Amino acid sequence: MDAFKSYFLENYPHTFVSEDPHPALLLWSSSSSLPRITGMSMVEQDGIGSGQGIPSGTILALLKGLCSAKVPIVNILYTKDLSYLKIDGKRLSPEDSAENISQLFKVPRGKNPVKPPNDPKQIKDAFHIWSRDAFDGTNAKKTDIDIIALDTKHKNIIGFVEIKRSSKISVGNWKPYTEDLNNYLICMSFSNLIGANFFTVHHEVMDLGILKPSTDVDLFMHKACSSKLPTSSDFNTLRGSGKVITVRDALIQITS
């Protein structure tokens, strides 16, 4: 698990983390729909267990209460060999699942029929690899949310986090990449939709390293604004909001 996720879970128990093959929250859109979100899905490998932190069902219930009238939200289970998927409990073939998601979330299909992978044992993130083939790689957009922080009573989402790891660019010199604009538009749209601030954290700890409370990270923030859709100008504002902050203080700001 990513070092910042681990620190967050250990020090703030009211946390959901996306961690394949355990539950992961995905936001969907398309080139023609951006910056609007056209769908949300909680995706997990069938029978793998709920993982650490807040159960995915709690997050789904909160999201459905906040925005199901505006955006379709589904739960997706998949088998490791991708012989079938279950969308809100309905068992479907990989091909029928792709068609269902395409129509529901208004994301374009890929050019070739969908089939299970040739060697499931070699697949680490089966849903991600399957969906790359199932949907148009240029025009279908999806991004996962790394961390969701709830209030202590688990009634509200108070913030969420995108984590970026890089040891090539040091803390204090890193900024969100301009080529990631579409992903940031989706996340900022999600922020405005649910009324929770969006944070990007960049750190340098790779593999199974540990972040100490006093370790410096980069923190960027988009303040939720329910009155409008995000623009490239909002992305530039986010890029300019960066500050170097300790891991401890970053957690405090995200959960305040």
- Specify the pLDDT at position 117: 52
DSSP state of 113: -
Mean pLDDT of 146-173: 96
Q: Which of 95, 89, 169 is nearest to 134 (CA)?
A: 95
DSSP state of 180: G
Burial pattern 211-224, b for ≥16 Cβ within 10 A else e, equals beeebbbbbbbbeb
- Specify the pLDDT at position 72: 97
Helix, strand, coil tally for the chain in percent (to 5): 30, 25, 45
Q: Show Cβ contacts of residue 214 under 8 Å, excluding neighbours closer than 6 positions.
A: 246, 247, 248
For 101-131, how does the pLDDT look when each residue is reduced to its tens digit (9 = 90+)?
999 999 999 875 555 555 445 446 789 888 9
- Specify the pLDDT at position 51: 78
**Taking all residues of the chain, what is their mean pLDDT, rounded to a whole number?**
92
Tokens describing residue 54: 């807040």
- Specify the pLDDT at position 116: 53
193, 29 in Cβ contact below 8 A? no
Tokens describing residue 90: 């309905």
The rounded percent of the chain whose pLDDT value lies above 70 is 95
Question: Residue 3 pLDDT > 50, yes or no?
Answer: yes
Amino acid at 114: V
Q: How far apart are CA 68 and CA 32, in angstroms?
A: 21
What is the length of the chain?
256
- Specify the pLDDT at position 122: 44
What pLDDT band is residue 69 in, cutting at 50, 70 and 90?
confident
What pLDDT band is residue 79 in, cutting at 50, 70 and 90?
very high
Q: Show Cβ contacts of residue 33 under 8 Å, excluding neighbours closer than 6 positions.
A: 106
3-state secondary structure of 236: helix
- Specify the pLDDT at position 68: 84
For every residue of 5-37, DSSP letters joined together read: HHHHHHH-SSEEE--TTS-EEEEEEETTTTTS-
Q: How far apart are CA 85 and CA 72, in angstroms?
A: 18
Burial pattern 81-98, b for ≥16 Cβ within 10 A else e, equals ebebbbbeeeebebeebb
